[in-house]
Amino acid sequence: MKVAAFATVKLNSERVPYKNIQPIGGRPLCYHILNTALQVDGIDDVYIYCSDENVRQYIPSGVKFLQREKWLDGNEIRARDTYTAFLNDVQADIYIALCTTSPFTKRETLKNALDHVLSGEYDSAFSAKRIQTFAWYQGKPMNYDIENVPRTQDMDPIFVETSAFFIFSRQLWEKHGRRIGFRPFIQEVGEIESVDIDTMEDLEFAQMISGHVEYI
């Protein structure tokens, strides 16, 4: 069974200029999760899917550069579009869609999620952060009775996707167009691993803590 990991990137971005090459812990942002994937047993190939060949200078040795079409850099392009294009270009049984904005993802985390999918018990996996506190949605409490407020330790947790990675089969994507299937494994991650860089504030925070994260 062939497993291909890939990160779809463009060098520039709207909210954080040149986000993917901003320095985190002495390396470009896009370097980290790709380097993590290279260290995971069971992943056959790791790709960077980008229209700009200049990205080669920012990625680890061992990552394969695959040039995508320029139109996939458009601001209205969704993940679905880049996933479909990549799957058309690369044949595999299992795909791992990596997000370069999650630089603190651990090798053990990614390996554990992949192993659960390869076991056949789950049809997909994704990273998520456990939230066990009072949450509201559209002006109403989401996970507790406001008339009978529980202790936080007694509450049912909510899991929020961190988008560090999604693991799915070619079959699932071709039949249903879904990166999360019908029997997903939720790979829980902690506070540091859940850091996702989407804004300048996120970037500054990641740069601040990166010197204290020993495994990057």
The CATH number that applies at residue 69 is 3.90.550.10
Domain-located, residue 134: no
Q: How many domains does the chain have?
A: 1
Alpha helices by DSSP H, listed for the chain, are: 29-38, 79-89, 107-118, 170-176, 200-210
**Gap between the Cα atoms of 125 and 186, Å rounded:** 6
Flag whether pLDDT at 165 surpasses 90: yes
**Gap between the Cα atoms of 183 and 192, Å rounded:** 26
Flag whether pLDDT at 105 surpasses 90: yes
Domain-located, residue 206: yes
Q: Say what the pLDDT of residue 15 is.
A: 82
Give pLDDT tens digits for 2-47.
Answer: 999 999 999 888 789 999 999 999 999 999 999 999 999 999 999 9
Q: Say what the pLDDT of residue 104 is.
A: 98
Q: Say what the pLDDT of residue 54 is.
A: 96
Q: Are 169 and 123 in contact (CB under 8 A)?
A: yes
Cα 4 to Cα 10, 44, 87, 92, 105: the distances in Å are: 20, 6, 10, 6, 17
Q: Which domain holds residue 96?
A: 3-128+160-210
Q: Say what the pLDDT of residue 149 is.
A: 96
Domain-located, residue 152: no
Q: Are 163 and 127 in contact (CB under 8 A)?
A: yes
Domain-located, residue 56: yes
Of 144, 166, 146, residue with least CA distance to 157: 144
Q: Say what the pLDDT of residue 210 is.
A: 96
**Gap between the Cα atoms of 138 and 140, Å rounded:** 6
Domain-located, residue 146: no
Least confident of 36-50, 83-97, 131-145: 131-145
Domain-located, residue 149: no
Domain-located, residue 154: no
Sheet of 64-67, strand order = 64-67, 45-50, 3-8, 94-98, 158-169, 124-131, 184-189
Residue whose pair of structure tokens reads 């056959």 in the numeric block: 44
